[in-house]
């Protein structure tokens, strides 16, 4: 059985939150650590790696949804049509020049399946983002449509997924402590 500990990054600039997550994982024998290329995820991964003899490996597939032309804008600055689509049916909205939620689901689930496949019978950790983690969990739990938006992901939360025979079994969701 391969164990994947999927972590949401700490709040940007919150070194104590990242350190607390790192301490929670300090006794876990991690074979590898993977991270999204976005700064807030890499900072959290570095905190975890500081307590392990491993270096974080960047996996582009773990990044948050690609917002395209609206990256850096606040929701109220989005085109009105996009705002309405996101409020009515966020799972089918396409960000102009970016991704749909379904594309995010496929990308993140594939990246995590590949990571799990690299580490048979080992424990690994990955640091990603709320939307990406929700997308993966919804895929594995077979939650369709907009259901993924009902899965909470707190900053520095952990999710535990065991992989056996290439299939994920979700053991823990949105926790601050691992169930050892």
How much of the chain is in helix, strand and coil states, percent to nearest 5?
A: 40, 20, 35
CB 158 within 8 A of CB 180: no
The pTM assigned to this predicted structure is 0.93
Render pLDDT for 103-147 as a digit per residue (tens, 0 to 9): 999 999 999 999 999 999 999 999 999 999 999 999 999 998 888
Average pLDDT over residues 145-174: 93
Average pLDDT over residues 72-92: 94
- In angstroms, the Cα distances linking 119 to 2, 25, 37, 80, 164 are 7, 18, 21, 45, 11
d(CA 179, CA 176): 10
d(CA 41, CA 11): 9
Instruction: Please say if the pLDDT value at position 176 is more than 70.
Output: yes
- In angstroms, the Cα distances linking 82 to 104, 120, 178 are 17, 42, 38
The full set of domains in the chain, from first to last, is 2-66+100-175 (3.40.50.1240)
- Give the end-to-end CA distance of the chain in Å, rounded to a whole number: 15
pLDDT of residue 180: 54
Render pLDDT for 21-74 as a digit per residue (tens, 0 to 9): 999 999 999 999 999 999 999 999 999 999 999 999 999 999 999 999 999 999
pLDDT of residue 145: 81
User: What whole-number percentage of the chain has pLDDT above 90?
Assistant: 87
Instruction: Please say if the pLDDT value at position 14 is more than 90.
Output: no
């Amino acid at each position: 059985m391969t164990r994947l500990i999927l972590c949401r990054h700490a709040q940007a600039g919150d070194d104590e939150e990242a350190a607390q997550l790192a301490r929670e994982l300090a006794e876990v024998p991690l074979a590898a650590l993977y991270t999204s290329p976005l700064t807030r995820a890499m900072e959290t991964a570095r905190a975890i790696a500081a307590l392990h003899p491993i270096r974080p490996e960047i996996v582009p597939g773990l990044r948050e949804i690609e917002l395209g032309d609206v990256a850096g804008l606040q929701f109220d600055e989005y085109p009105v049509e996009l705002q309405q689509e996101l409020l009515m049916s966020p799972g089918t909205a396409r960000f102009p020049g970016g991704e749909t939620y379904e594309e995010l689901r496929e990308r993140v689930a594939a990246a995590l399946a590949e990571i799990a496949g690299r580490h048979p019978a080992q424990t690994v950790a990955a640091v990603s983002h709320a939307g990406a983690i929700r997308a993966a969990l919804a895929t594995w739990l077979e939650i369709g449509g907009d259901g993924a938006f009902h899965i909470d992901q707190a900053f520095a939360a952990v999710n535990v997924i065991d992989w056996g025979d290439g299939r994920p079994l979700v053991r823990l969701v949105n926790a601050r402590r691992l169930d050892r």
